[in-house]
Amino acid sequence: MRSRGSPLSLMMSAAPLALSVLDLVPVRSQQTSAQAISASLAVVEAADRLGYRRYWFAEHHNMPAVASTSPPVLVAAAAARTSRIRLGSGGVMLPNHSPLVVAEQFAALEAIAPGRIDLGIGRAPGSDPVITQLLRQSGTTSDVERFPDNIRDILALSSPEGASLRFTSGQEYAVHATPAATAAPEVWLLGSSDYSAQLAASMGLPYVFANHFSGEGLERALGLYRSQFRPAVDGDEPRTFLTANVVVADTDADAHALALPQVRMMARLRTGRPLTALETVEEAAAAEQTDGLAAPLISWARERWFIGTPDAVAERLRSFATQWQVDEIMISPVSAARDNDPMDAAPARLRTLELLAAAA
């Protein structure tokens, strides 16, 4: 294991591979949102201690198994409990929000944790159509067609120079996300489509492909991003990393048991079944004996997710990063809880981070 404060990496032949964390703040059965958030904050503390590069919170809404509805609030809480790791959103779903509000929130976070804030921005709603309509009652800021302009607005508003409005009379009006800013959060564009890859390339922004969703279209998206990249500043080069669902345990059998509740949750999403809080390992195993919900997806998950013992998963991550020519993988630790785990802790997710760090 690396010493405290040193960067964690899995050594590859060409360059070290950095590891980061994506957190949806999972909510298990019988668990409150307060307990789920407490568990995630303990995980981010561990990630900071173990040397992970960054820790991002996702934005999802009205999902029984996800408590990550407000990334900036969670980032602020994590900033108070960490000292080194970069913190951010993975991502803020921009059509749900006013660009000025997003810029103000992340400018404040940059002031709280200078040099440690990432603003990951996505275009998806992060929920179902009904919730999307409730989120987007803010007028023209909810227009998805304005997405590129809204990103440009955030970049300008967040900069120390700020932005200016010009009225028809010719008068200019200065706008700053926060007064006397000395730095800005680093903006990343997130997505899993050609559109997001091409937009990031055209704006010279770093790009993250959401591989943990399915991985479909990865090769094309990275190819478009790298081939069409236009630097915003001389010397800028394409920067990208990938996300991946990861479960690490002491044995293969334990790892696959810990992954089953998330596989069953994915099966519910794919088949349109009602969503529930995340099952425990024991609940999932018992239910699978009667309904076989996860059976069609188990082989798929084993092929695309990174499930197993520390050395085996570390080697697969090295190969994955080498294949796609990235120097960072953001893991989503999808290890589920057991019946007797404390409600305000996530021992299996924490163990995934610890075992992977030890295998570096």
Tell me the pLDDT of the chain (360 aa) as tens digits. 343 444 566 654 445 789 999 999 999 999 999 999 999 999 999 999 999 999 999 999 999 999 999 999 999 999 999 999 999 999 999 988 889 999 999 999 999 999 999 999 998 764 566 666 665 555 545 567 789 999 999 999 999 999 988 777 778 889 999 999 999 999 999 999 899 999 999 999 999 999 998 788 999 999 999 999 999 988 899 999 999 999 999 999 999 999 999 999 999 999 999 999 999 999 999 999 999 999 999 999 999 999 999 999 999 999 999 999 999 999 999 999 999 999 999 999 999 999 999 997
Residue 354: phi, psi to the nearest 5?
-65, -45
Closest CA relative to residue 205, chosen from 188, 224, 226 = 188
Closest CA relative to residue 331, chosen from 268, 248, 249 = 248
Closest CA relative to residue 179, chosen from 164, 200, 212, 157 = 157
Cβ-based neighbour number of residue 165 at 10 Å: 9
Q: What pLDDT is stored for residue 135 in this prediction?
A: 58
Q: Check: CB of residue 144 under 8 Å from CB of residue 136.
A: no
- Residues with Cβ within 8 Å of 49's Cβ and at least 6 positions away in sequence, in order, are 4
How far apart CA 249 and CA 237 sit, in angstroms, is: 37
Q: What pLDDT is stored for residue 285 in this prediction?
A: 98
Domains of the chain: 9-358 (3.20.20.30)
The continuous run of DSSP H or E covering 34 comes out as helix 33-50
Give the CA distances from residue 294 to residues 132, 260, 286, in Å, rounded to whole numbers and listed in that order: 28, 7, 12
- Residues with Cβ within 8 Å of 286's Cβ and at least 6 positions away in sequence, in order, are none
- The token pair at 209 is 């492909």
Q: Which residues pair with 242 in a beta bridge?
A: 209, 329
Q: What pLDDT is stored for residue 133 in this prediction?
A: 62
Q: Check: CB of residue 91 under 8 Å from CB of residue 188.
A: yes
Give the CA distances from residue 261 to residues 175, 202, 243, 306, in Å, rounded to whole numbers and listed in that order: 47, 39, 19, 15
Note the pLDDT tens digit of each residue in 148-171: 999 999 999 999 999 988 777 778
- Residues with Cβ within 8 Å of 145's Cβ and at least 6 positions away in sequence, in order, are none
- Residues with Cβ within 8 Å of 164's Cβ and at least 6 positions away in sequence, in order, are 172, 173, 174, 175
Largest Cα–Cα separation, the chain: 71
How far apart CA 207 and CA 191 sit, in angstroms, is: 8
Cβ-based neighbour number of residue 148 at 10 Å: 14
Question: Can you give the pTM of this predicted structure?
Answer: 0.92
| Residue that the structure tokens 């059998």 belong to | 253
How far apart CA 332 and CA 334 sit, in angstroms, is: 6
Q: Check: CB of residue 238 under 8 Å from CB of residue 223.
A: no
